[in-house]
Amino acid sequence: MLARITAASLGRLATVRVDGAPHVVPLCFALDSHDEPAGDAPTIVSIVDAKPRRSPQLQRLHNVRTHPRVSLLVDHYDDDWTQLWWVRIDGTADVCERGADHARAVDLLTAKYPQYGIDPPTGPVLRIVPERWTGWTSWTS
């Protein structure tokens, strides 16, 4: 599962609004195993970048600040159904606005996504600490 997640470029983040309604958005992310003891799951980081938005106050950040339980779904679809797979990571999240953790996340995301090398992101970082990994793959892949 870790290899599939590491290679993937997009996931879908599910958070919970204040009223209890689900909120799902696509998410670029990177894995950060810097502070993880051997065998522990890496932290997952994402950042608010410069893409056009209605507001810099993103719903996902508000949701995490009020209800930190999240799920990240990363999957692969192919018309050849023997190649299908998905991984879901359930955990808790927080928002980091600056400091060493923020800088490290920017470095990880810039290394993974060449677009960020052109315009490095400066927005808040979303950090997910995994508590449970669940996955599925077709029998023949």
Structural domain boundaries in the chain: 2-137
Question: Given a cut of 90, is residue 57 above it in pLDDT?
Answer: no
The reported pLDDT for the residue numbered 113 is 95
Average confidence (pLDDT) over 54-71: 90
Ranges 4-18, 30-44, 105-119: which has the least confidence: 30-44
Which value, in Å, is the radius of gyration of the alpha carbons in the chain? 15
Ranges 30-44, 51-65, 106-120, 125-139: which has the least confidence: 30-44
Cβ density class 57-77: b for 16+ within 10 Å, e for less: ebebbebbeeebebbbbbbee
Question: Given a cut of 80, is residue 54 above it in pLDDT?
Answer: no
Average confidence (pLDDT) over 52-71: 87
Fold of 2-137: Pnp Oxidase; Chain A (2.30.110)
Residue 51 neighbours by CB under 8 Å, 6+ apart: none
pTM: 0.88
The reported pLDDT for the residue numbered 106 is 95
